[in-house]
Structure 1
Amino acid sequence: MDVNEWSTVFSGIVSRAMTLSAVNWSGWKLQWSLASEFQVPSPLVPTRESYYVRYCKQHVDGTWAVVDVSLDTLRPNPAPRSCQRRPSGCLIQEMPNGYSKVTWVEHVDVDERGVHNLYKQLVNSGNAFGAKRWVATLDRQCERLASALASNIPTGDVGVITNQEGRKSMLKLAERMVISFCAGVSASTTHTWTTLSGTGADDVRVMTRKSVDDPGRPPGIVLSAATSFWLPVPPKRVFEFLRDENSRNEWDILSNGGIVQEMAHIANGRDTGNCVSLLRVNSANSSQSNMLILQESCTDQTASFVIYAPVDIVAMNVVLNGSDPDYVALLPSGFAILPDGGGMGDSGSGGSLLTVAFQILVDSVPTAKLSLGSVATVNNLIACTVERIKAALSCDTA
């Protein structure tokens, strides 16, 4: 029922959630949430905005019910919304083995005319916004929480972070990185991005924002560039390729061909792909000698992410000692990988919908004017990255 925590756990789906008030009514706890937005990590899928109430009640058998329903139809002159939530939510039942059984229902009326053709099959299948995605995300986040709370960390593996406070701080920093990445892809109205360009399937959508007095971001003008495209390669293969540090120099232009090594990692799920890593680029460029790369990779049946950000080595040492990571400046970039809707089974058949996104500081002075050259540079960076990925994975389809 904590909306801030809920939107953090489901940051890949929820781009905004605001609580207005909470009251008790006939044994139900009623929580008002204004103009929540739901997203798919792609600039080609509009966010869904909904205004609804949330009911929460524990039944006599111990089962909890958390149910949302839109208020738009109850208002005299409802504002047009892209999404109306019919009764939706979950039932949470305690199991004898200490686990929980969760039953999830998503029932919405939605205007899908703004969805690009690339994503229509996925959206129409229900797997972009539907119950399967919510449950898969919840399951993965529960594993992540268990990792953060774990105290019996094996010490035999090289690079495993065993300091519990350091693990918590690094996971918290990675969590903020993921939230910031998702916010820069979907262009939710809750985030202060201004769209500069991008209207079609082959376009790179570029947005800008000014960062001032935000300890979690470097000050100045930040550009976010994102594009989505289809690959005739299963999502699992794309995910493994992008998260593997050994293949990073095949697509990462900014690493300048340097050898990438994993310095430390935190496993946070049953799948070996669910991991937070600290990478080092051994580059001939001396200006990069004090930089590390923080990376989180995560995967489930409905979506996969590889998100990373350059971090200062001094700041990371402080984080690994268990200090507050909120003051570490981050500008995340990365990938969101979704199935194309053509093969949603466990076999991993079908192609992939890949979103590539970068956030780059183009001027350290927030009041500076944005130059066209900066936009062209970011456009070129993302276009070259896309071509490298296509070339590297082309052998899979040959």
Structure 2
Amino acid sequence: MDGHGDMGLLEHFDPSLVGRMKEDGYESRSGSDNIEGASGEDQDVGDDQRPKKKYNRHTANQIQELESFFKECPHPDEKQRSELSRRLGLESKQIKFWFQNRRTQMKTQLERHENVILRQENDKLRAENELLKQNMSDPICNNCGGPMVPGPVAYEQQQLRIENARLKDELGRVCALANKFLGRPLTSSADPVSPFGSNTKLDLAVGRNGYGNLGHTDNMLPMGLDNNGGVMMPLMKPIGNAVGNEVPYDRSMFVDLALAAMDELIKIAQIESPIWIKSLDGGKEVLNHEEYMRTFPPCIGMKPSNFVTEATRESGVVLVNSSALVETLMDVNGWVEMFPSLISRAAPIDIISSGIGGTKSGALQMIHAEFQVISPFVPVRQVKFLRLCKQLAEGVWAVVDVSINENQENLNAQTPVTCRRLPSGCIIQDMNNGCCKVTWVEHSEYDESAVHQLFRPVLSSGKGFGAQRWIAALQRYYECMAMLMSPTISGEGQRAINMGGKKSMLKLARRMVDNFCSGVCASTLHNWGNLVVENVSEDVRILTRKSINEPGDPDGIVLSASTSVWLPVSQQRLFEFLRDEQSRSQWDILSNGGMLQEMVQIPKGQGHWNCVSVLRSTAVDANVNENNMLILQETWNDVSGSLVVYAPVNMQSLSVVMTGGDSTYVALLPSGFVILPDNSFSNGEPNENQVKRDRDGNIGSGSFLTVGFQILASNLPSAKLTLESVETVHNLISCTMQRIKTAFN
């Protein structure tokens, strides 16, 4: 009885059950009676050896104190028992026996309550059995309505009946376990009701308005993660805590929260939803907050007074079917792999349900993740949330995320909450061509005071964490998967690479981009420390970290410098300038004034700008030739933004990777640029004296440029960081930014 396996029962026990049990004739000894010298957990001994029991009636105050402490800790240790003994004026032995008796009493009550439920379930099955016997003894023909002469029962039918009986027995055991686990009765004989009413053929064709009856979810089951014939979803134990010490929490509350979030996502994702209205300029959709507040109650509590709201919605076609996409979304590692520029890292905390029938429908997870905008001006968002997946119809799925209310659990209560993820996620619908249409909704509340003034309009407009970025990243990922299966690359003056070489190169490029983003955003992917130096501009962030002797980690001390600026240059023009090998010498100080030649290109998308490349400098320089250095570079560009990240790599190491070798041990010090579009001057950045047109003459067209550099300040991790190293990386970023501004006048 001292085992912790009964904690789940104690946490969810309903005190009202005791009264109901007494009415049913189940009376037990009160826990307030203390029996000295024995307890409910003592081993059996002979009657002549058992000492005479002495009963002591505790006072009402003592019972109240003991009951209150029992709710918090059913298994007090010796120190706690001594404290209670001193406070209540009882012997430590009396305290120990009281808690033992109370635990025994609690378990007995729960077992009796379970027997009552099993008896009711048995009565239902017996009634169903009698009804089946009656129907079998007096069968009626479905065609004529007259009596039908029974024939011999087929062997297959007998097997089906046996299997049906076995499944009912198993269902009863599952429901009994669920009663223990959730602390509330669950019926196993619920009629299978479609969550979408009688309309089973939803109007979900691409090009039609609306998602049919997706919004009508009033008929969902109380525990509605799936309603396969009323079968309850399997419940799993926690897999461990990724962010702190594991503590008990009420999972049934999380299930209710996830179901409410799913209902909200389905309704808010409908194309003709009144919650979305056109902005004043007739462009993008904006959330009608008044209509939203009238339609949906706050599922995670009221918004803090210092928080602001961002909400966006976007649709797009993705080169994958719905089931494959759902599998990846419900795999945390696969989910992070799909969104390298949006998620720095993530880990599962708990798998509450793994789904039903071998599918992901009904799967419910608790996840901790770090979301990022690649700029030193936007802090990383630490969010702990639930993710629920549900199949809405054939070929139609929904995946929803919702933050856990900080009042509902205290896994990381010491960390202040700076962002809350309101019901967000996607509706996925299969198309006839093997692709799927994805409607993505992003809805968050966050503390705007932590964001730099320059980037506040970026976040409020949805260009930072909005749905458009998620859809664009999703499309890029599956375009890359499709291009990866294309024939071997061979072009004029370029080296051919086989499938193994392409995979190794893409893996190395992915690590390069991850390291670059970590150095700019200061995510926990690496253990960065912030440096504050007097001679460094406050708009430039300097970070430092030491080598941790991991494969691919440079030996020594790494410095990272990054900053962001607004430029009156369109995103497309700025990206083409930074990516063009011919204009590289205008901004790249390390190019030694020479141009770059592309040796290898691995396409990652339809446009030539989405690729991983290997570049070689044409500059005649003794040091360059002596080091035999090449440049690994990844670039992509779409409506949500652009990226150019590069790193010098030893020629021998890169040759091994291009032939399919292991890329884990290749050291990287990445640098690069990230561009976010800005189609208005609403951010207040330009003043009256600044140009309000880009070089193409477009009024109100600009972009936010983030630049970051990483250098090796010392070859020894134990060495002390010098001011010269900090000034070097600061001058590098300042000169590069100045050269870019000069190139655009």
TM-score by length of 2: 0.50
- What residue in structure 2 maps to residue 293 of structure 1? 631
Q: Are the structure 2 counterparts of residues 351 and 376 from structure 1 closer, same or farther at C-alpha, using a change threshold of 3 Å?
A: same
Structure 2: how far apart are the matches of 1:160 and 1:336?
Answer: 28
Deviations for 1:259-295, whole angstroms, at most 9, x for unmatched residues?
3111111121122211111001133332222000000
Does the 8 Å CA contact 1:305/1:337 hold for their aligned counterparts?
yes
- What residue in structure 2 maps to residue 193 of structure 1? 528
- What residue in structure 1 maps to residue 386 of structure 2? 53
Listed as ranges, the gaps of 5+ residues in structure 1 are none
- What residue in structure 2 maps to residue 310 of structure 1? 648
* Among candidates 21, 46, 57, match of residue 350 of structure 2: 21
* Among candidates 497, 506, 510, match of residue 175 of structure 1: 510
- What residue in structure 1 maps to residue 691 of structure 2? none
Does the 8 Å CA contact 1:273/1:297 hold for their aligned counterparts?
yes
- What residue in structure 2 maps to residue 229 of structure 1? 565
Structure 1: how far apart are the matches of 2:481 and 2:709?
Answer: 27
Q: CA deviation at 1:146?
A: 1.6
Structure 2: how far apart are the matches of 1:209 and 1:25?
Answer: 39
Q: CA deviation at 1:41?
A: 0.6
- What residue in structure 1 maps to residue 736 of structure 2? 385
- What residue in structure 1 maps to residue 574 of structure 2? 238
Query: Which structure is higher in helix share?
Result: 2
Q: CA deviation at 1:217?
A: 2.1
Q: Are the structure 2 counterparts of residues 32 and 161 from structure 1 closer, same or farther at C-alpha, using a change threshold of 3 Å?
A: farther
Q: SS state of the match for residue 744, structure 2? A: helix
Q: SS state of the match for residue 450, structure 2? A: coil
Does the 8 Å CA contact 2:561/2:729 hold for their aligned counterparts?
yes
Mapping for residues 327-338 of structure 1, pairs under 5 Å: 327-338=665-676
Q: SS state of the match for residue 598, structure 2? A: strand
Q: CA deviation at 1:160?
A: 5.9
- What residue in structure 2 maps to residue 352 of structure 1? 703
Q: Are the structure 2 counterparts of residues 166 and 194 from structure 1 closer, same or farther at C-alpha, using a change threshold of 3 Å?
A: same
Mapping for residues 5-44 of structure 1, pairs under 5 Å: 5-24=334-353, 27=356, 28-34=362-368, 36-44=369-377
Mapping for residues 243-322 of structure 1, pairs under 5 Å: 243-289=579-625, 290-322=628-660
Structure 2: how far apart are the matches of 1:198 and 1:265?
Answer: 40
Structure 1: how far apart are the matches of 2:569 and 2:464?
Answer: 19
Q: Are the structure 2 counterparts of residues 329 and 234 from structure 1 closer, same or farther at C-alpha, using a change threshold of 3 Å?
A: same
Q: SS state of the match for residue 43, structure 1? A: coil
* Among candidates 67, 92, 106, match of residue 428 of structure 2: 92
Q: SS state of the match for residue 107, structure 1? A: strand
Q: SS state of the match for residue 245, structure 1? A: coil
**Alignment root-mean-square deviation, CA:** 2.2
Q: CA deviation at 1:109?
A: 1.5
- What residue in structure 1 maps to residue 418 of structure 2? 82
- What residue in structure 2 maps to residue 68 of structure 1? 401
Does the 8 Å CA contact 1:121/1:341 hold for their aligned counterparts?
no
Q: SS state of the match for residue 188, structure 1? A: coil
Q: Greater RCO between the two (CA within 8 Å, min separation 6)? A: 1
Q: Are the structure 2 counterparts of residues 156 and 356 from structure 1 closer, same or farther at C-alpha, using a change threshold of 3 Å?
A: closer
Q: SS state of the match for residue 374, structure 2? A: coil
Does the 8 Å CA contact 1:161/1:266 hold for their aligned counterparts?
no
Q: Are the structure 2 counterparts of residues 7 and 297 from structure 1 closer, same or farther at C-alpha, using a change threshold of 3 Å?
A: same
Does the 8 Å CA contact 1:121/1:340 hold for their aligned counterparts?
no
Q: CA deviation at 1:203?
A: 2.5
Q: Are the structure 2 counterparts of residues 59 and 6 from structure 1 closer, same or farther at C-alpha, using a change threshold of 3 Å?
A: same
- What residue in structure 1 maps to residue 722 of structure 2? 371
- Name the amino acid aligned to 1:19: P
Deviations for 1:210-246, whole angstroms, at most 9, x for unmatched residues?
0131221211100000011111000111111101111
Structure 2: how far apart are the matches of 1:63 and 1:20?
Answer: 27
Does the 8 Å CA contact 2:376/2:564 hold for their aligned counterparts?
yes
Deviations for 1:60-99, whole angstroms, at most 9, x for unmatched residues?
3232221111112452665531111111111222211000
* Among candidates 125, 134, 153, match of residue 470 of structure 2: 134
Aligned residues: 390
Percent of aligned pairs with the same amino acid: 52
Structure 1: how far apart are the matches of 2:402 and 2:633?
Answer: 37
Q: Are the structure 2 counterparts of residues 155 and 259 from structure 1 closer, same or farther at C-alpha, using a change threshold of 3 Å?
A: closer
Structure 2: how far apart are the matches of 1:348 and 1:197?
Answer: 38
Structure 1: how far apart are the matches of 2:537 and 2:571?
Answer: 20
Within the alignment, does 1:323 sit opposite 2:661 as a pair? yes
- Name the amino acid aligned to 2:363: K
- What residue in structure 1 maps to residue 449 of structure 2? 113
Q: Which runs of 4+ in 1 moved over 4 A?
A: 76-79, 198-202
- Name the amino acid aligned to 1:63: V
Q: Are the structure 2 counterparts of residues 214 and 62 from structure 1 closer, same or farther at C-alpha, using a change threshold of 3 Å?
A: same
Deviations for 1:29-76, whole angstroms, at most 9, x for unmatched residues?
111112x22111100112222111111122332322211111124526
Q: SS state of the match for residue 354, structure 1? A: strand
Does the 8 Å CA contact 1:236/1:348 hold for their aligned counterparts?
no
Does the 8 Å CA contact 1:297/1:307 hold for their aligned counterparts?
yes
- Name the amino acid aligned to 1:17: A
Deviates more, 1:233-242 or 1:197-206: 197-206
Structure 2: how far apart are the matches of 1:288 and 1:98?
Answer: 49
- What residue in structure 2 maps to residue 214 of structure 1? 550
Q: Are the structure 2 counterparts of residues 282 and 155 from structure 1 closer, same or farther at C-alpha, using a change threshold of 3 Å?
A: closer
Structure 1: how far apart are the matches of 2:428 and 2:346?
Answer: 21
Structure 2: how far apart are the matches of 1:156 and 1:291?
Answer: 22
